[in-house]
Structure 1
């Protein structure tokens, strides 16, 4: 049995493309010595902490995750009041855009930082940046200052999910890890769900600044618990280094080119959607071209220059890490293609919600109730996936079945029409949320189970990079696609005097549709139905792409105890060292 597992691990860590690594990995010598020595070279890890300490550690990590989700929806609710306060409503969308771009750019950097500064150091850095940015948002004297403060908060927000995920993996055996990830996702969903009404209530009672300032007690609570309770030990060759030596391990050039690649790409796509600029606009194609140049430079730096790359190319060339990353990208684009950008309100709204308000002409209350099954399914899907992995120790069949569930759900939604039964409108969206939540959880565990211990943090950062990038692209491109098709259909159906003004009103607000004359109302409803159907079809295609990317993911054993976890890591370290030795010229 052990021989079979060893062979499987060796196959998993072999690159898809032959690669001559001129820079041996810094852990190779340490991993080799640990494998040959009868006693571990490093002291016992934090895996042996007591249950009470584990609860306090998780409280510190998860309170930060909850706060990050809460903050996002609170700010989305406050965009209009903030824009009115500074008399710059036309720029209020940049408050959300600056935060989201910053999160996407800096998320992958925390994987390597958590290996250099330690889990505690990286988490405290993330909380410090997030806290200082949030505090200054509450004190910002101008819109420009607020936008910059949100970008600073995003630099920390990008690390909260990544570092907390890495830290929990250090503490929890993989077989149980999925269940804890499900609990994390429930807290994240709870924070996101509470943020909207809480932000509106704070704005009405205390003003919009209070929504930022009153986050500080939760942040201080999380900071103190992380500082006092988190003490995960790194390998000795890093743990015992002086600070200057640790800082030299930071891949400055790789980090700069990665931020340039992701930032330019997402900024170009976001501006295309929010400002409704054509693709031929110099700003749009210039940003996309800059992203391509930065991307080429990033690949060269990580492959040929950096001794401690922020994103090792050898990981991307491995089978499971590559396809986990792609499945997370396509899955996130599909899930967030259900979000369309409202050009007037400058806030994200579920595309399915727009279907009920613009096509079915439902009230806001009825629309919200129709989305409730989807919200419940997201919370339960992740926990269900964790329970299955804990019970069976398997994830491959779970991943494929969950992904097929999203394809079926998206196909059913794409077939909605005026003759669809009421129960279809209530239940068809639920499998999408359930399946995608399960896929996101199981593929994260698949990624962790496929890499060696020294690559754990970096691989987690890569997963979150592809996930957050897919989210931004899904929101932006679906919004652009919806508006483009909607405009074309409205121009075909609405002619005559004042047609331009009527079309613009319909495009920017669905609340005006019930007040239109019967002819104009039918034209608006039919146009929205046509445009939304295309978005739903694209979502089904993207979910199918996610399914195809899940097929090559390899089934790896999920250790059920700390001892099994240590043995699996040592075996994978040994196989990795032997594999790299065979490839060396």
Structure 2
């Protein structure tokens, strides 16, 4: 599915009669001829009751993963105080996110080797083991390691559930199911904070991890009993040893090393406030570069079943979608972290009030994905919906960059809504575009790649925006606060926002204005990055979205025919 630059290459990949509509650069047309009567039935056609139980198993795992994330965020302060190591509490989140980013792409290929059930059970086992280990961790260091183990499975839970739903639901309806997934994810994230705080106040923080065990057991049981998704016969009939031989161990190892070195370098730059010239930062970046080179060589020349096929990531649509997800996730998570900071440090609101300003964003996230899914089911189109979604994020970024002392409460509460709605719609449409634009055998791996770029963007968005914020903030504070004791005051302002209301009026004004200037620069960066997201989305091709599983099988057969014809044309003299 390479770029179509010549007339011969512009023959549609999915069309049975190979007639392409030349009027649309982004559309690949497909014949609407009916299926032959002797076509085999879809591999994974299930009844509504069966689908209900399968989704119950998958979605319970997704709900648990999102619940756990906000539970831990609420417990950072109590855990840090318990071990008397509050300065290390941020690593509980960092270790989990780093682990998720490193291991998420591996589950795409693992789900093709172990099966959807096997990969999902592996993810739940690792996630559950890490979560239970957190409850009994004797030291902060052990707790950080346990969170990393949980992250090894947490990323897989999200990825494999998405892959499994794609096996069972035709592409035209896939967006609606993704919307329902996002609603459950948002519900778990919304309940996790209050639940974690209540459990900590009544039973202690360790109980917050232990009380996840019953739901984890329910999810594991449902997946083990109900998620029976068949793979092609050539994989199903292989022995366990043969399946293990298909695992790209070298590719997986080098990919984990490459991603870990990159993200750890950026995370240490932000959390430890190390300079860019620090040997540890450069050492991690250089190590990451070496692993990236090794990974590319392994995938190109060594691995028979690459964990991330280079032929896939270099194609037009997958490459565009990967870049768009990476950049959009950077601004999305930077927004989530920095908007509450604006209300705490600039408007001097309470933490509760600052957090409440994200509520419209959360509602928009839930509804945006559902509405995008409904529109795709109704129209069968996604290209212009994708561009419109990015347009909404650009509008939101501009609105946030215009915030000042005279901005009305109406805008302060509602300006963030287009960001949540647009981002939810974007990740839904691009996921469907990715699945529709690759061959059937690449669907699981392509889904894993999408989640890799998304989670990596999330981590880098928080790290880089934090680095930009602190750099501008420090410079502005040094300009505005001088005299005896100024260094101590500046450090206190940078590390404890709660100290700002207690400062002398002149110093308080300087702190507020410095934070406002720094956040203004961050929000301007969001505008620039979201414009890049729009540019990245322009090359995305729009493939037909089958409305039934039968049509979807025909869709994949046409892909295979086109692939065979292309190979024959290349081989012929």
Indicate if the aligned counterparts of 1:60 and 1:225 stay in contact, CA closer than 8 A: yes
Residue aligning to 1:284: 281
1:382 corresponds to 2:380: no
Residue aligning to 1:310: 307
**Deviation at residue 230 of structure 1 after TM alignment:** 1.0
Q: Give the unaligned 5+ runs of structure 2.
A: 1-7, 16-35
SS at match of 2:12: helix
**Deviation at residue 91 of structure 1 after TM alignment:** 1.8
Residue aligning to 2:563: 576
**Deviation at residue 144 of structure 1 after TM alignment:** 2.0
Task: Rate the CA distance shift 1:235–1:535 in 2: closer, same or farther, 3 A.
Answer: same
Residue aligning to 2:357: 370
How far apart in 1 are the matches of 2:255 and 2:396?
35
Residue aligning to 2:12: 8
**Deviation at residue 414 of structure 1 after TM alignment:** 0.4
SS at match of 2:208: helix
How far apart in 2 are the matches of 1:282 and 1:401?
44
How far apart in 2 are the matches of 1:434 and 1:225?
32
- Residues paired across the two proteins, number: 544
**Deviation at residue 108 of structure 1 after TM alignment:** 0.2
1:72 corresponds to 2:76: no
1:553 corresponds to 2:540: yes
Indicate if the aligned counterparts of 1:452 and 1:569 stay in contact, CA closer than 8 A: yes
SS at match of 1:338: helix
**Deviation at residue 147 of structure 1 after TM alignment:** 1.4
1:51 corresponds to 2:48: yes
Residue aligning to 2:416: 429
How far apart in 2 are the matches of 1:210 and 1:574?
56
How far apart in 2 are the matches of 1:370 and 1:230?
39
1:130 corresponds to 2:123: no
Identify which of 192, 195, 199 aligns with 1:198: 195
Residue aligning to 1:442: 429
TM-score, normalised with respect to structure 1: 0.91
Residue by residue over 1:319-340, the C-alpha shift from the partner in whole angstroms, topping out at 9 and shown as x without a partner, is 111100000000001111225x
Identify which of 244, 251, 256 aligns with 2:253: 256
Residue aligning to 2:30: none
Indicate if the aligned counterparts of 1:10 and 1:576 stay in contact, CA closer than 8 A: no
Residue aligning to 2:496: 509
**Deviation at residue 141 of structure 1 after TM alignment:** 1.6
Structure-to-structure mapping, 1:140-539, within 5 angstroms: 140-339=137-336, 350-539=337-526
Task: Rate the CA distance shift 1:384–1:487 in 2: closer, same or farther, 3 A.
Answer: same
How far apart in 2 are the matches of 1:188 and 1:551?
29
SS at match of 2:13: helix
Task: Rate the CA distance shift 1:44–1:568 in 2: closer, same or farther, 3 A.
Answer: closer
How far apart in 2 are the matches of 1:563 and 1:546?
34
Indicate if the aligned counterparts of 1:134 and 1:149 stay in contact, CA closer than 8 A: yes
Indicate if the aligned counterparts of 1:338 and 1:478 stay in contact, CA closer than 8 A: no
SS at match of 1:9: coil
Identify which of 538, 548, 554 aligns with 1:567: 554
Indicate if the aligned counterparts of 1:410 and 1:432 stay in contact, CA closer than 8 A: yes
Indicate if the aligned counterparts of 1:10 and 1:579 stay in contact, CA closer than 8 A: no
**Deviation at residue 581 of structure 1 after TM alignment:** 4.3
Residue aligning to 2:20: none
Indicate if the aligned counterparts of 1:9 and 1:450 stay in contact, CA closer than 8 A: no
How far apart in 1 are the matches of 2:466 and 2:570?
47
Indicate if the aligned counterparts of 1:514 and 1:521 stay in contact, CA closer than 8 A: yes
Residue aligning to 1:345: none
How far apart in 1 are the matches of 2:205 and 2:281?
33
How far apart in 2 are the matches of 1:78 and 1:487?
29
Indicate if the aligned counterparts of 1:174 and 1:445 stay in contact, CA closer than 8 A: yes
Task: Rate the CA distance shift 1:44–1:420 in 2: closer, same or farther, 3 A.
Answer: closer
TM-score, normalised with respect to structure 2: 0.92
Q: Give the unaligned 5+ runs of structure 1.
A: 12-36, 340-349
Residue by residue over 1:503-534, the C-alpha shift from the partner in whole angstroms, topping out at 9 and shown as x without a partner, is 11111122222222221111111101100000
**Deviation at residue 73 of structure 1 after TM alignment:** 0.9
1:542 corresponds to 2:529: yes
How far apart in 2 are the matches of 1:356 and 1:147?
30
SS at match of 1:418: coil
How far apart in 1 are the matches of 2:481 and 2:311?
56
Residue aligning to 2:33: none
Task: Rate the CA distance shift 1:53–1:328 in 2: closer, same or farther, 3 A.
Answer: same
How far apart in 2 are the matches of 1:506 and 1:573?
61
How far apart in 2 are the matches of 1:146 and 1:356?
32
Residue aligning to 2:107: 110
Residue aligning to 1:29: none
**Deviation at residue 408 of structure 1 after TM alignment:** 1.1
How far apart in 1 are the matches of 2:327 and 2:290?
23
Residue by residue over 1:365-408, the C-alpha shift from the partner in whole angstroms, topping out at 9 and shown as x without a partner, is 43233322111111111111111101111100100011011101
Indicate if the aligned counterparts of 2:71 and 2:195 stay in contact, CA closer than 8 A: yes
Q: 573-582 vs 144-153, which deviates more?
A: 573-582
**Deviation at residue 584 of structure 1 after TM alignment:** 5.7
Indicate if the aligned counterparts of 1:102 and 1:154 stay in contact, CA closer than 8 A: yes
Indicate if the aligned counterparts of 1:56 and 1:225 stay in contact, CA closer than 8 A: yes
**Deviation at residue 39 of structure 1 after TM alignment:** 5.4
